[in-house]
Amino acid sequence: MVTEGGMYVFQLFDYYSASGMTLLWQAFWECVVVAWVYGADRFMDDVARMIGYRPFPWMKWCWSFITPCVCMGIFLFHLVNYKPLTYNNDYIYPWWGEVIGWCLALSSMLCIPVSLLYKLFRAKGSFSQRWAYLTTPIWGGHHLEYMAPDVKSLNSMSPGSEDNKVIIFESVM
């Protein structure tokens, strides 16, 4: 990116892999996983444990419906109204530059669905059993529902006891 044509390469990286569609794609999947796999109620409980009070209920609707719909809507709108990349409204990138740009974008966008498919096909059992296995969160002692301040604290649990067993799991990402 420090050569004479570096600005062209930088703009390819910026347009295809660092902004716009790829970030919306990642934000969509993050909201889907947090709200529908981990669970919006569980996430609200975790946030309440961190900040000391339960967030407004509309936050759950934002995580579950509004944000994923807005992200996917903008993503699809951008795809429908796609225009080839130009530099200073003067230079139009050749077809092979567009291909490089799309390869950059897809290199980060395909990580989520490819990982999902890989895990889905590697798991054992019927499709519904594999799906349930992959989308069921693993729980530890820190995943309890929000407790009011006057309820017995989790800090009183002794480490390693059955009440406070933490399970560590491997993630592809």
User: What pLDDT, on a 0 to 100 scale, did the predictor assign at position 12?
Assistant: 86
Whether 168 shows a pLDDT value over 50: the answer reads no
Give the per-residue pLDDT at 141.
Answer: 57
Q: pLDDT of 46-90, one tens digit each?
A: 888 889 888 898 999 999 999 999 999 999 998 899 888 888 888
155 burial type by CB count under 10 A (0-12 exposed, 13-18 middle, 19+ buried): exposed
Give bridge partners of residue 93 from the DSSP assignment.
Answer: none
| Out of 5-19, 80-94, 96-110, 137-151, least confident range | 137-151
Domain residue spans in the chain? 6-164
Give residue 55's identity as a one-letter amino acid code.
P
Q: Give the pLDDT of residue 170.
A: 37
Place 158 in a pLDDT band, splitting at 50, 70 and 90: very low
Give Cα separations from 130 to 59, 134, 135, 171 (angstroms).
30, 6, 9, 16
How high is the pLDDT of residue 144? Answer: 52
Q: Is the pLDDT of residue 149 over 80?
A: no
Average pLDDT score over residue span 27-35: 91
Strands (E), 35-101: 86-87, 91-92
Of 7-21, 97-111, 158-172, the one with minimum mean pLDDT is 158-172
Residues 152, 67: Cα–Cα separation, whole Å: 35
| pLDDT at residue number 132 | 87
pLDDT above 60 (res 152): no
